[in-house]
Amino acid sequence: MNPLKNSKVAFFGTGNFHKFNEARYVLVEYKISVAMLNLKCIEIQDDNLETIAKTSAIDAANKSNLPIFVEDAGLFIKALNGFPGPYSSYVYRTLGTKGILKILGNNKSRDAHFLSVIAFCDPQGQSKPMTFQGRIEGKIMLEEKGSEGFGFDPIFEPLSGNGKAFAEMTTVEKNKYSHRGQALRRFANWYEDYI
Amino acid sequence: MNPLKNSKVAFFGTGNFHKFNEARYVLVEYKISVAMLNLKCIEIQDDNLETIAKTSAIDAANKSNLPIFVEDAGLFIKALNGFPGPYSSYVYRTLGTKGILKILGNNKSRDAHFLSVIAFCDPQGQSKPMTFQGRIEGKIMLEEKGSEGFGFDPIFEPLSGNGKAFAEMTTVEKNKYSHRGQALRRFANWYEDYI
């Protein structure tokens, strides 16, 4: 029996509490509760986030036997040919924000974007995962600012963010602009009719 | 019928001609011919090269229905917490050797190692892949040297290499020291009795 038939719940396959928290704030606006499932899913190496997210979603659905979504995101820096891109989490853990600032140095070309891809897969439904994307343009700041959020948030200033870094915003404020907030809203709009 | 029964051939699942060439030089010493199969195999994200190589080998064996080996390698820089590690190929394509030199700057701590993992899987044999490793300690040079090899070879000087970068060595000379040469010899020693 589909556990979602009589209640609006979305299962989020992630081990990242920050992502779960951002999802919770967006989806509550759609009266959808988010349940975090800390599954160890396959994450492939690929330059395309959508391909990575789709593969993970299929694996998450197989492992949980639940309709489930996963989210993959990356920071793409134009002057660095898109680096760190799909490997942002690994690069954050090894080089950190300071490593990125060091590579860029005083480079005037600081354009970057964050991309988020949500992939949803239902083991009872069609085999192909649905995907939902969000993208925010911005700049890599000259120094770290703020202590909210996670990952590269202290060095990313969204173009429309009034000069604030993501890490200087509350979760609700970041969700307004962010790649993940956009992808979550696109997902929620579709999901509220699906369930 | 096993195509290897009456001839010594090893199938190498790779799209990298440089790796194929290095393998060819080592395996010919064991009277084993190498056949390059340019398969698009699953490559997962993981901090452990062995896990990545094993998963790829199983996928390569499933896709080719042949006893086949794959190889995964990475450059691990101590001062950068192991970066670029399993993502060396992506980092080479985006930041390049110059990017690594920039991150290190004049840092005196330049210790690094190359690790190679070969994983072999036989669809007719046991389901678990066999793995063979090679590792070479060295230093990241202050500037690029040489034009042989590929990837980060111009900035890596093996400790036992008489001050030469990998990119200043012929394939045969690099194979003497290199992580991949070691892993290939370990594989060949086992494989010549296996086939």
Residue A4: which of A72, A92, A66, A54 has the closest Cα? A66
Residue-averaged pLDDT of chain A:
93
Which residues 104-123 in chain B show a CB within 8 A of chain A? 105
Cβ contact B99–A105 (<8 Å): no
**Mean pLDDT within B12-24:** 94
Give the pLDDT confidence of B115-139 residue by residue, as tens digits. Answer: 999 999 999 877 689 999 999 999 9
Share of chain B above pLDDT 70, in %: 95
Cβ proximity of A67 and A121 under 8 Å: yes
- Structural fold of domain A9-194: Maf protein (3.90.950)
Interface test with chain A among B40, B42, B45, B54, by most A beta carbons within 10 Å: B45
Cβ contact B94–A85 (<8 Å): yes
ipTM of the complex: 0.77
Residues of B within 8 A of A92 (CB-CB) are none
Distance from first CA to last CA of chain A, Å, rounded? 13
Q: How far is B125 from chain A (nearest CA, A)?
A: 25
Residues contacting A154, CB < 8 A, separation 6+: A97, A141, A144, A145, A146, A147, A165, A166, A167
Instruction: Please say if the pLDDT value at position B4 is more than 60.
Output: no
Share of chain A above pLDDT 90, in %: 87
Cβ contact B95–A81 (<8 Å): yes
Residues of A within 8 A of B105 (CB-CB) are 102
Residues of A within 8 A of B91 (CB-CB) are 83, 87
Interface test with chain B among A41, A45, A54, by most B beta carbons within 10 Å: A45
**Inter-chain contacts counted by CB atoms under 8 A, chains A and B:** 68
Residue-averaged pLDDT of chain B:
93
Residues of A belonging to the active site: 72
Cβ contact B95–A87 (<8 Å): no
Which residues 33-62 in chain B show a CB within 8 A of chain A? 42-45, 47, 52
